[in-house]
Amino acid sequence: MSRSLKAHILLVFITFAWGSTFVLVKNALAEVSPLVFNTLRMVIAAVALVVIFHRALGKITRKSAQAGAIVGIFLFLGYAFQTTGLRLTTPSKSAFITGLAVVLVPIIVAVSGRRLPNRWTLVGVLFALIGLYLMTIPSGEGFSLASINRGDLLTLGCAASFAMHIFAIGRATERHPFEHISIMQVATAAVLMALIIPVETPKFSWSTPAMSAILFTALICTAAAFSIQSWAQQFTPPTHTALIFALEPVFAAMTSYVLLGERLGVRGTIGAILILSGILVSELRGSALEADRIPQVGTPSN
């Protein structure tokens, strides 16, 4: 088996893991408050990453630590918004709204380069926004913040935060070893999560669902997933990786249906299809057009 094929298989595996955990975390949040859950998840993941990359610890510089901390701030915001919002919305809706991060990244890249997004990216964003409207605004109601489920609004903040995280980690790993960024971002997120626990009413249970969710998300979806992604992207084009990640809400909807019997309904299904279509259009056509615009020098590291 070639390294490229292994990389694709592993990326699908971690995408499935991420998608399936929406149900797992939703169930755990009945017994553990969001910030306590995320703090434990990040602390365990940070310890695991230190064990995995212990040889890199002594080589972390002040600049790489700062870069990792900046990435960690966006990681912290993403998970804080997502887990808090998940208590108030469904796993499928949370996953599809979180998937908007893939569409927002090209917008952030375009703005940072002080240029307009290409037409396919704009088409993808339009599809995604219409889909978001159908999924979050109840039928018969006009658009207003009052008509949006509070959990959906928090999850939208999560999508924006993860989009900034993807952008920031891309910049950081261009200049610093991925091991340094992996350790520092998770450690930073763990510290920030712990610091803001007092803003909620902390709750924790040693129950099997709660502990299973914490350990699975910490070891598989955080520590292992970040390590696998960093290795796999050496052998897969960025567009392929983004398209694989776009499957996350699909996996979430599948597991929600199987485990919870959750159905999106006709309106929600159309919205989900539009969001996924927007992601695919933005990544397949938009990213390809951007690649044609940018001169290629040497061999891309990804």
Interval 182-211: pLDDT, tens: 899 999 999 999 999 998 888 998 888 899
Is the predicted pLDDT of residue 151 greater than 70, yes or no?
Answer: yes
Give me the pLDDT at residue 300, please.
Answer: 31
The answer to whether the CB of 52 falls within 8 A of the CB of 227 is yes
- Burial category of 271 from C-beta neighbours within 10 Å (exposed 0-12, middle 13-18, buried 19 and up): buried
- How many Å apart are CA 57 and CA 55, to the nearest integer? 6
Joined tokens for residue 280? 């695919």
In one-letter notation, the amino acid at residue 272 is A
Of the CA atoms within 13 Å of residue 199, those in its CB half-sphere come to 9
| Confidence category of residue 138, pLDDT binned at 50, 70, 90 | low
**Long-range contacts of range 165-172, CB-CB < 8 Å, 24 or more positions apart?**
165/71, 165/74, 165/75, 165/78, 166/101, 166/105, 167/105, 167/108, 167/109, 167/112, 168/70, 168/71, 168/74, 169/71, 171/67, 172/67, 172/68, 172/70, 172/71
Tell which residue, 120, 153, 149, has the closest CA to residue 284. 120
Give me the pLDDT at residue 142, please.
Answer: 52
Question: Mutual orientation of helices 265-281 and 119-136 as an angle, nearest 10°?
Answer: 160
| Confidence category of residue 100, pLDDT binned at 50, 70, 90 | confident
The predicted-structure confidence for 23-68, as pLDDT tens digits, reads as follows: 888 889 889 999 999 999 999 999 999 999 988 888 899 999 999 9
With tokens 């997120």, the residue in question is 189
- How many Å apart are CA 230 and CA 179, to the nearest integer? 9
With tokens 């088996």, the residue in question is 1
* DSSP 8-state assignment for residue 247: T
Is the predicted pLDDT of residue 278 greater than 50, yes or no?
Answer: yes
Give me the pLDDT at residue 233, please.
Answer: 65
Q: Classify 2 as helix, strand or coil.
A: coil
- Higher per-residue confidence, 226 vs 50: 50
Joined tokens for residue 81? 């918004």
Percent of the chain at pLDDT > 90 equals 25
Average per-residue pLDDT in the chain? 80
pTM of the model: 0.78
Give me the pLDDT at residue 92, please.
Answer: 75
The answer to whether the CB of 106 falls within 8 A of the CB of 267 is no
Tell which residue, 31, 35, 16, 146, has the closest CA to residue 85. 35
- For the chain, give the longest Cα–Cα distance: 59
Give me the pLDDT at residue 288, please.
Answer: 58
The answer to whether the CB of 57 falls within 8 A of the CB of 183 is yes
